[in-house]
Amino acid sequence: MDILSVAGVSKTFPGGTVALQATDLAVQENDFITILGPSGCGKSTLLRMVAGLDTPTTGHIELDGRGVAGPGADRGMVFQSYTLFPWLTVRQNVCFGLREKGMPQAQQDEIAQRFIAQVGLKGFENHFPKQLSGGMQQRTALARALANNPRILLMDEPFGALDHQTRELMQELLLGIWEQERKTVLFVTHDIDEAIFMGNRVVVMSARPGRIKCDLPVPLPHPRH
Ligand code: ADP
Ligand code: ADP
């Protein structure tokens, strides 16, 4: 069954920019879909609408058969800019969503510990974001997204601000987690190497107006060397 369905979705911004046109996308459970395309082709707009941060002009988006209306804990988000809460420690950032839904502290800590270890940040639980490198901040953002046990991870150029070596490390980390946790991932990038390395499906978009050009399966695994 499709976990996510995007049907006939278009987006025209006030002022007339057509960011996205006639877009259909069916995401199956455990897919790792990379959305590849040049700057301005509507990748972020598509992801933001799935996230519930923006609304389609036409068409509709369903997650597990229910229409998406606004953001929800069923979608975990990681963006290029780290978006951690600067006044909270790594552990507190990771626990944020769990605390919001009233989970007991001991259980929050247990879940946080598991995901902090999984992203390789053991020993940094009490650090604040500004004490961490960019890669470590993105590891924290990833742990925070995973801790909420989302149905789908939405990632918008999450490694775009990192240096080459850190980026490759993060790609491998994320692939490992995807395999281990059996997560469903929608991952936006303009980097063709990244798209092919990460995805079991690559969705290629073109600009003016933004639309899906093709949707290709990519056999796994993708050894880098
Ligand atoms: P991408 O993520 O592929 O770079 P975007 O989804 O950010 O593309 O943008 C698609 C198009 O929509 C671009 O032409 C962009 O300038 C325009 N756009 C994005 N957000 C807005 C907005 N809030 N208001 C008006 N135009 C926008
Ligand atoms: P509800 O929305 O009905 O409160 P939750 O999504 O909060 O349900 O959680 C359902 C069960 O899964 C609860 O026992 C909760 O503690 C547990 N749980 C939630 N998130 C996680 C997680 N990331 N890892 C392990 N267990 C979790």
Q: Alpha-carbon distance 92 to 211, whole Å?
A: 39
Ligand 1 atom 18: the closest Cα is on which residue?
19
pTM (predicted TM-score): 0.86
Q: DSSP letter for 4, please.
A: E
Q: Report the share of the chain in percent with pLDDT over 90.
A: 85
Query: Mean of the per-residue pLDDT values for the chain?
Result: 93
Which of 74, 75, 103 should be mutated for ligand 2, with most atoms under 8 A from CB?
103
Question: Is residue 118 within 8 Å of residue 62, measured between CB atoms?
Answer: no
What ipTM did this prediction achieve? 0.69
Q: What is the pLDDT of residues 81-138, one digit of tens each?
A: 878 999 999 999 999 999 999 999 999 999 999 999 999 999 999 999 999 999 999 9
Res 114: pLDDT: 96
- The answer to whether the beta carbons of residues 171 and 191 sit under 8 Å apart is no
Please identify, by atom number, the ligand 1 atom nearest to the C-alpha of residue 47: 6
| Two tokens, residue 132 | 């961490």
Give pLDDT tens digits for 170-179.
999 999 999 9
Ligand 2 atom 1: residue of nearest CA: 101
Alpha-carbon distance 175 to 185, whole Å?
Answer: 10
Ligand 2 nearest atom to the CA of residue 98, by list position: 20
pLDDT at 207: 87
